[in-house]
Amino acid sequence: MEQGEFADTGRDGRALIMREIYLDYNASTPIDPVVVDAMRPLLESTFGNPSSDHSAGTAAKTALEIARREVAGLLGCAADEVVFTSGGSEANNLALKGVFFALKDKGNHIVTSAIEHPATITTCKFLERLGAKVTYLPVDHHGRIDPDDLRRAITLKTILISIMHANNEVGTIEPIEEISQIARKHGALLHTDAAQSVGKIVTDVNILGVDLLSMAGHKFYAPKGVGALYVRRGTPLEPLIHGADHESGRRAGTESVLLAVALGTASTLARDLLPMKHVRGLRDHFWQALHTRFTHRVVLNGHSEYRLPNTLNVAFPNHVGADILARLDGVAASTGSACHSGRVELSPVLKAMGIRPDVGMGAIRFSLGRYTAIEEIDAVVDRLTDVLAAGSSLNAKPPSLVEGTDRCPL
């Protein structure tokens, strides 16, 4: 199958090849063919345990350590500061729980934001049950935190600040460098969830000034089920998984050399941010076309400048995003709203940004990537025009908000 095609099963059980316009790269990317090629020898021959002393083990160990160096090369850190994990969720859990368990005698206060991914928010909620005090910083209408709010939130008990580098839903980029200076001044550690920013913008840990950084392979052309946590040398961290001395005692379990190699290869590819210039151009073309076509009937969510180059979150006020997507045949994208029994739920991110319910319920996240073509963008704008023209039936009743949902586009 070619890129953008997917198999579905027809009534008679035969596989049908469908052509889909895939605009959900923030949810997951295809695996780059170069990454697939790099994985092949691990599937076919390099099967040894990297902890074994014989030649099969040494070959696996060599592949693992090359991969670690490749990830370090992308992040601008030393190889021994990279811990392989099963993905972004585990990396966030290891950062938050690892620091909390290691430093709970020093302090119990964590500062995060209201728009973090559930992998951070629910981990914080769990730590609250164990005695942590967590401050969830508000964001402005564009999804940015105010560094002054952080300054005010820090106490003598603050051990960790965890603010995402870029938001998955609206793409807003947080002022991590400024946050880093505040963290340093107050002696708190800084973690950033860079699952969405790696491969899209610069994620050098020294430029950002972070102590811990999470990444997720399937957001930048590696497979699902692999990620990494950068841990600055000297950062206290209790492992989540205890066992033998893998990953320098920070994560027990025989390493998946296959997935580490995939992550390493994807990291090397991700050092070249030039393709993102093209993606940004397509994204801006998309927004211009929507704006020309729908004028005041379409609204941009997220920051106009500090935003991931591939992310376009738009809202069609007084429509329901999920309804539009359901009618937008052959287009894969995500929505920030969900409809249950006639009631519309806004995602926590849009709610925290103070987006009006009648606007936010019509939100759709389009996220572009390396394989997006301009013809696909133009086709989606045309299809949206048809869907919205067809649509008095798409007009929703004034929504009543359902509180406490944790739904959001991942």
Ligand X SMILES: Cc1ncc(COP(=O)(O)O)c(C=O)c1O
- Using CB under 6 A as the criterion, which residues of the chain lie in contact with ligand X when the complex forms? 87-89, 92, 117, 119, 164, 168, 193, 195-196, 216, 218, 227, 410
Closer CB to ligand X, residue 196 or residue 268? 196
Active-site pick, 77, 124, 339, 408: 339
**Whole-angstrom Cα distance, residue 346 to residue 396?**
14
Angstrom distances, CA of residue 351 to CA of 174, 265, 327, 397: 18, 38, 25, 19
Burial class (CB in 10 A: 0-12, 13-18, 19+), 47: middle
- Taking the complex as a whole, the smallest distance from the CB of residue 368 to ligand X amounts, in Å, to 15
Closest distance of CB 174 from ligand X, Å? 11
C-beta of 159: minimal distance to ligand X in Å?
21
Helix axes 118-129, 88-103, angle to 10 degrees: 30
- Nearer to ligand X by Cβ, of 211 and 323: the residue is 211
Minimum separation from the CB atom of position 119 to ligand X (A): 4
Which one, 220 or 316, has the nearer CB to ligand X? 220
CA torsion 339-88-94-39 (nearest 10°) is 150
By CB atoms closer than 10 A (0-12, 13-18, 19+), residue 247 is buried
If the CB atoms of residues 61 and 283 are measured against ligand X, the closer one turns out to be 283
Tell me whether residue 339 is one of the annotated catalytic residues.
yes
Residue nearest ligand X by beta-carbon distance: 88
CB of 89 to ligand X, least distance (A): 3
Give CA–CA dist 27/334, Å, rounded.
8
Q: Nearer Cβ to ligand X, position 60 or 173?
A: 173
Question: Sign of dihedral through CA atoms 119, 321, 334, 326?
Answer: positive
Positions annotated as catalytic residues are 339
